[in-house]
């Protein structure tokens, strides 16, 4: 496990950036208890190692006019690796699909979709998703409201697993 090879400062840097990726390096260094130059070196090392994959703003989709959020459970006719990769590639090209996860069990993929309105989602569903080669079935669930949407990982659980207190 990579996490066990990270020291406490690296884990604290990751936790702080996960909570607030906009803070300055000076503020981050202060929060983790080191000076700014080594903090920046550590952040760059974490980025190069792939532990920090990027930075983004969390936007309010409803305020931007995306009123509809839907989870689509997709079953494929064939689960051959070439077919799975082809479906994943197709998903990358659909703007309304914001997340695509391959699953184990009855459903092959779950897609998180956002749309401005129900008719826009229906158009995507009937004209694109359902007409995609190898798609055997699609079941959808409209999100009524969200109760929790936390990014990343729970660092307190990580620290507990490593036998340390956060």
Arithmetic mean of pLDDT, 21-48: 96
Question: Is residue 77 domain-shared with residue 138, that is, in the same domain?
Answer: yes
Question: Is residue 73 domain-shared with residue 119, that is, in the same domain?
Answer: yes
Give CA–CA dist 126/97, Å, rounded.
14
Do 18 and 155 touch, CB atoms closer than 8 A? Answer: yes
Question: Is residue 94 domain-shared with residue 33, that is, in the same domain?
Answer: no
The predicted-structure confidence for 39-98, as pLDDT tens digits, reads as follows 999 999 999 999 999 999 889 999 999 999 999 999 999 999 999 999 999 999 999 999
Judge whether 147 lies within some domain: no
Instruction: Give the CATH number for residue 95.
Output: 3.30.70.920
Instruction: Write down the pTM of the prediction.
Output: 0.85
Indicate the number of domains in the chain: 2
Judge whether 27 lies within some domain: yes
Instruction: Give the CATH number for residue 30.
Output: 1.10.10.10
Give CA–CA dist 143/128, Å, rounded.
21
The predicted-structure confidence for 114-157, as pLDDT tens digits, reads as follows 999 999 999 999 999 999 999 999 999 999 999 999 888 999 88
Question: Is residue 81 domain-shared with residue 134, that is, in the same domain?
Answer: yes
Judge whether 152 lies within some domain: no
Helix axes 8-19, 36-48, angle to 10 degrees: 80
Question: Is residue 82 domain-shared with residue 126, that is, in the same domain?
Answer: yes
Judge whether 82 lies within some domain: yes
Judge whether 9 lies within some domain: yes
Question: Is residue 74 domain-shared with residue 27, that is, in the same domain?
Answer: no
Question: Is residue 51 domain-shared with residue 72, that is, in the same domain?
Answer: no
State which residues form the domain around 82.
Answer: 68-142
- Residues whose CB falls within 8 Å of the CB of residue 86, separated by 6 or more in sequence, listed in order: 133, 134
Question: Is residue 101 domain-shared with residue 44, that is, in the same domain?
Answer: no
pLDDT number for residue 91:
98
Judge whether 157 lies within some domain: no
Judge whether 163 lies within some domain: no
Judge whether 46 lies within some domain: yes
Question: Is residue 50 domain-shared with residue 76, that is, in the same domain?
Answer: no
């Amino acid at each position: 496990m990579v996490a066990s090879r990270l020291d406490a400062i690296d884990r604290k840097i990751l936790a702080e950036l996960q909570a607030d990726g906009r803070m300055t390096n000076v503020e981050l260094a202060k929060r983790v208890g080191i000076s700014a130059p080594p903090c920046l070196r550590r952040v760059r090392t974490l980025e190069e190692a792939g532990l920090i994959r990027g930075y983004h703003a969390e936007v309010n989709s409803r305020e931007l006019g995306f009123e509809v959020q839907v989870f689509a459970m997709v079953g494929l006719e064939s689960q051959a690796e070439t077919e799975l990769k082809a479906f994943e590639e197709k998903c990358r090209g659909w703007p309304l699909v914001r997340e695509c996860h391959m699953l184990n069990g009855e459903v092959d993929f779950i897609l998180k979709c956002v749309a401005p309105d129900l008719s826009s989602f229906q158009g995507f569903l009937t004209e694109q998703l359902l007409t995609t080669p190898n798609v055997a079935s699609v079941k959808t669930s409209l999100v009524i409201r969200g109760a929790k949407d936390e990014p990343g990982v729970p660092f307190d659980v990580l620290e507990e697993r490593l036998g340390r207190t956060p």
